[in-house]
Amino acid sequence: MAGRASRIKGHSYERKIVKELRELGFTECCTTRSESRRLDDAKVDIMNCSIFQIQCKAQERGVNHSLVLDSMPKDTNINCLFHKQNRKPETVSLLKEDFYEIIKMLKSENII
């Protein structure tokens, strides 16, 4: 896919995820392109989602999930990679220790 078309596809995917997250109650959720150059440069695409920082990839191949997650800021937030491929289910990747942290939070709130 040509560079411009790839960029448009990626931005459209970011907006789709923001819309879905807002519908789930993250009303302040937005793209970093519109709000924070610093976070955008730090490989975060979506911000203001509680404890989550999100990177979105809409590409068919060549996504190294570990490399993308490792390139994101290492702070108290949980880094997530949303990945979309044509004709396949969308996926979300995160580090195992972050997944376990979510489990601990849910257990402490007696949700699970």
pTM of the model: 0.89
pLDDT interval class at 7 (50, 70, 90): confident
41, pLDDT greater than 90:
no
Kindly report, residue by residue over 49-87, the tens digit of the pLDDT.
999 999 999 998 879 999 999 999 998 899 999 999 999
**CATH number for the domain harbouring residue 67:** 3.40.1350
Give the span between the Cα atoms of 77 and 90, in whole angstroms: 22
pLDDT interval class at 33 (50, 70, 90): confident
Kindly report, residue by residue over 94-105, the tens digit of the pLDDT.
999 999 999 999
Domains in the chain: how many in total?
A: 1
CA nearest to 69, candidates 42, 90, 50, 87: 42
78 bridge partner residues:
52
State the DSSP H helix or E strand holding residue 7, giving kind and residue range, or none if neither. helix 3-23
